[in-house]
Structure 1
Amino acid sequence: MLRGKSVLLRPVRRSDLSHFLKWFNDPEVTQYLAMYLPMTEMAEEKWIEELGSRATTHAMFVIEVLEGDGNRPIGTTGLSGINPKDHRATFGIAIGEKDYWSKGYGTEAARLLVNYGFEQLNLHRINSGAIAFNERSIRMHKSVGFKEEGRQREAFFKNGKYHDHVVFGMLKEEWKGL
């Protein structure tokens, strides 16, 4: 587990299935993600079950907000494609509880996970990206210290049209310099 001031990152559990189904079947949430509806219960169950066998290449967490009466799951974050030879991985995040959007929880979770990637997993580079119209995600990436490295033009088809994919990256030396 990774603990910050207002969020906790903990491993994904089977009991998180109901949250994932709610979040990843909400068009308002998934419009910003590289996924498409519907997300079936069977597909989510399979994903959760397979996480154990992918522990060397994936570090996936549920984001919980630390509240006085207990923690509340609000989203998920993780590093995928962890490559120990090249010392790189790809960062991803989704805040599924819309009441918690734009309150800094995603930024804090991202900082915790990036620190974990560089300091615990000894990564040299973390890749990421965002759909160009996801302004909150773009601001969060820049706030955490990711550098915009380019765009993949018209890479996603969402809401009836094509959108660019903004490509981000961060090197360990850049993280240490923050």
Structure 2
Amino acid sequence: MTTEPHILLKGDMLALGMPRQDMLPKYHAWENDPRTVLGYGNQWAQSWEVRAAGYERQRGNQRFQQFEVVRLADNEAVGMTILEVNPHSRTAEFVIVLAPEERGKGYAAESARLTLDWAFDIAALRMVWLKVLEPNRAGITAYRKAGFRESGRLRKAGYWLGEPVDELLMDALPEDVPGPSAVRSALGD
């Protein structure tokens, strides 16, 4: 039995919630799906022992902020977003993983947008950035919808189907995020 999600911020279809330890087996399965491994440019899956130990290390780490992405229609977890915060520069790297069966539904753009709202309007970060492999056109499109812009390129820095490919750098500033802030809307601002 899993616990109910602890919702932090609601959007249109999705919400950001606190990660739940009892969901760790699901998170681990999502992270080790071959399409997720491919999208990260990895070549190997991660063992359960490594993932479980990582969860324990990350729980109290202020530099590693994790959010569970929850579908509002049925309160089901559909993914995770992460902000790896650099407290000295007030910036963060954005990472996302969606459940394989939930891809292609517009969830990446909305969950990225909600995470940017949190990053800018609650955490007071100056900039959020990410790396995405150039062949990942769906990811690039979703990130653009959320407000990320291309800002650079790391040539042949990743792998896609066994071939070296470029990694695109994308970043977002508070003024890049489209539409009203979910944080400000929730506060009545």
What TM-score, normalized by structure 1, do the two folds share? 0.89
Of stretches 31-40 and 101-110 in structure 1, the one that deviates more from structure 2 is: 31-40
- Is 2:81 aligned against 1:77? yes
Of stretches 163-172 and 17-26 in structure 1, the one that deviates more from structure 2 is: 17-26
2:5 match: none
Q: Following the alignment from structure 1 to structure 2, what is the Cα–Cα distance between the partners of residues 27 and 75?
A: 15
Letter aligned with residue 22 of structure 2: S
Q: 2:72 aligns with which of 42, 49, 66?
A: 66
Letter aligned with residue 162 of structure 1: P
- Aligned-pair Cα RMSD in Å: 1.8
Residues 159-170 of structure 1 aligned to structure 2 (within 5 Å): 159-170=161-172
How big is the shift at 1:177? 8.4
Cα pair distance change 1:71/1:176, threshold 3 Å: closer
Any gaps of 5 or more consecutive residues in structure 1?
none
How many residues align structurally?
A: 173
How big is the shift at 1:28? 2.3
1:30 match: 37
Letter aligned with residue 165 of structure 2: H
**Percent identity at matched positions?**
25
2:10 match: 3
2:89 match: 86
Cα pair distance change 1:4/1:176, threshold 3 Å: closer
2:100 match: 97
Q: Following the alignment from structure 2 to structure 1, what is the Cα–Cα distance between the partners of residues 49 and 117?
A: 33
Of stretches 35-44 and 143-152 in structure 1, the one that deviates more from structure 2 is: 35-44
1:139 match: 141
2:114 match: 112
Q: Following the alignment from structure 2 to structure 1, what is the Cα–Cα distance between the partners of residues 19 and 111?
A: 15
Any gaps of 5 or more consecutive residues in structure 2?
1-7, 181-189
Q: Following the alignment from structure 1 to structure 2, what is the Cα–Cα distance between the partners of residues 117 and 157?
A: 29
What TM-score, normalized by structure 2, do the two folds share? 0.84
Q: Following the alignment from structure 2 to structure 1, what is the Cα–Cα distance between the partners of residues 130 and 165?
A: 16
Cα-to-partner distance string for 1:10-63 (whole Å, 9 max, x where unaligned):
121211121122212221232111444221111111121112231x21210111
